[in-house]
Amino acid sequence: MPLSSMTRNALVAAMANQGAATEIARILDGINVVGTGVPGSPGSSIEINKVVTGLADNAVVTIATVTVPNATLGAGIAVFVNGSLGDGDSSQQTIVDIGISRIAGAATKAVAGAAIGPGATAGATGNAVTTVSVTGMTGAVGATQTFDIQVKVARSAGTSNNHVVAARLALLNGLGGGVSIA
């Protein structure tokens, strides 16, 4: 169920004396469930934010794991990702859509589309190139399956390392529902 700002603020205020208000606010701000109010139900959406720092050049990092129940369903994930070179010389913002479908008793299908309108700054020594991909399925056919969403930041030239990835992932459950993301 969506968390109203009044509910969020009341929870944070209640915990202020415990010294945990900032951490609770950060957690609550990073999760948003909308639609029917029941996570995983048809029409529901879940948004999560992830940040990974200190990446070596061209290293692949998992930013989310998607769980797909053994059911007939359809869902999609919009991935908004920014990859920045560790030296700050270049940054690329990319949007990638992932389609997910499954027939009960069959294998899950997940496909990452082409990058939509990537915007990148030109660096003096190298440019950031940010890519998004999905892994193969784990779990048996006829059982719950999972796959990972992965990101890679590569420099076109230079020696920059310690890259940063910031991502916002929005899952929309369509047919059947039940897909989750963490």
The full DSSP string for 60-95 is EEEEEEEEE-SSSEEEEEEEEEEEE-TTSS-EEEEE
Looking at residue 35, its pLDDT comes to: 53
Q: 74 and 144: one domain?
A: yes
Q: Residue 171: is it exposed, middle or buried by C-beta count within 10 angstroms (0-12/13-18/19+)?
A: buried
Looking at residue 33, its pLDDT comes to: 54
Q: 6 and 83: one domain?
A: no
Mean pLDDT by 10 residues, the chain (182 residues): 51 54 55 57 89 96 96 96 95 96 97 92 90 97 97 92 96 91 94
Q: Which residue range(s) make up the domain with 26?
A: 1-34
Q: 21 and 92: one domain?
A: no
Q: 4 and 23: one domain?
A: yes
Looking at residue 93, its pLDDT comes to: 95
pTM of the predicted model as reported, rounded to 2 decimal places: 0.79
Q: 28 and 45: one domain?
A: no
Domains in the chain, number: 2
Q: 10 and 97: one domain?
A: no
Q: 47 and 23: one domain?
A: no
Q: 97 and 176: one domain?
A: yes
Q: 87 and 29: one domain?
A: no
Q: 49 and 113: one domain?
A: yes
